[in-house]
Amino acid sequence: MKIIKIGGTALSNLSNVIDFANTINTSNLPILLVISAFGKISSSLKNINFDSNFTKNSSPFRFFRENSSLLTDSECVEFFTYLDKVEEILTKRAKGITISGEFPLKVMDEILSFGELVSSYFVHSQLNSLQIDNEFVDARALIKTDSNYGNAQLELDESIAYIQKQKFSSNVIVTQGFIASDSSDNTTTMGFESSNLSATVFANALGSSEIEIVTKVNQIFSSDPEQNKKARAVSKIPYSSASTLANNGFKMLFPGMIDLAEKKNIRIVYRGINSNGVSIISNEPLFDCPVVLVTGFGFIVSPIISTNAIRIIENFDSKIVEFSFVRSNNTLTIKSSELELNELHDYVIALF
């Protein structure tokens, strides 16, 4: 089964939502879609002012009301019946928080889960409107975690067992990333950006050889392309370097997902929603360009060969306090408070 995870920012406008649904119509089946909350819905849910009156006009889900023309009349009825139930629960939670003055993480997890649930149900309804047979599956019934609300830890073996027992009735499955449940079936979340981890768990359980991650940006870049015009697309990253980047805060990767993919040799393919270019994370040791990542102590440059690491150290010697190079993951670590990101990045990229 092919696993496709699409980020919420990639579905932040109507055109992208339409294009994505149409690509499913021409894709090889079967497919499992892991959907993140559209646009900034998660942020809106996290920052709702519960002291004010919550109305449908102020709903974080108004995007769907404004774009209901994508759905057939019958699917509109189904979708808004679902959304009305969600908004009813959200309103009750808001009133409870206002009365008690308390906002436990357990309640926040439930509230945040609505972003993924409503967004994925909209995709389900849209595919139905396009006459693409599909099945909506609540990930909370399949992905299991501990009860550390707000940052729950995955229970991998249990999750795989639940997924493998699930009998899917369609060749297109629509589910969610980020959300899960604990042993008492309370809703949990695994941390922002954890939808990639969800996709990796599904791939692991279903014997998939590849995960396709669709993002707003075109591939993985050596630096943020919106802040540095010299940023280069990175086409290949070995598992070892990707794991190092993920564990040091690289936003496009989630800690744990790389190690899990590596164990089953699952390729992770990143592509932009409107781009043909891809970045591939795999067991292939070759790479074409490193990522330059800012850390709390300085920078990480990975993957990079030792000779280029030496050139970087020699060039910026006066600004570097400490450095280390680890050959096993082709990573250069630099401790510095004087080096600037663009200064380091542009020199590094010029070596390739």
Mean pLDDT, 10 residues at a time, the chain of 352 residues: 91 87 85 94 83 68 92 97 92 84 91 96 96 97 97 97 96 97 97 92 97 89 91 96 95 91 96 87 94 96 97 97 96 97 96 94
**Structure confidence at residue 51 (pLDDT):** 63
C-alpha to C-alpha distance for 194 and 33, rounded to whole angstroms: 15
φ/ψ bin of 265: left (φ > 0), alpha (ψ from -120 to 50), beta (otherwise)? left
What pLDDT is attached to residue 43?
87
Give pLDDT, residue 329. 95
Q: What is the pLDDT of residue 265?
A: 97
pLDDT at 222: 97
Peptide bond into 104 cis (omega under 30): no
Checking phi first, is residue 31 left (phi over 0); if not, alpha (psi -120 to 50) or beta? beta
Decide: helix, strand or coil at residue 180: strand
pLDDT of the residue at 23: 83
CA distance 117 to 115: 6
pLDDT of residue 22: 82
Nearest CA among 289, 287, 252, 258 for reference residue 271? 252
Write the DSSP assignment of 56-104 as a string of letters. Answer: GGG-TTHHHHHTGGGS-HHHHHHHHHHHHHHHHHHHHHHHHHHHH----
Distances (CA, A) of 33 to 110, 123, 180, 187, 195: 21, 9, 16, 20, 11
- Which ranges in the chain belong to alpha helices (H)? 14-25, 41-46, 62-66, 73-100, 105-129, 156-165, 195-206, 239-247, 257-263, 306-315, 341-350
- Tell if the pTM clears 0.85, that is, is over it: yes
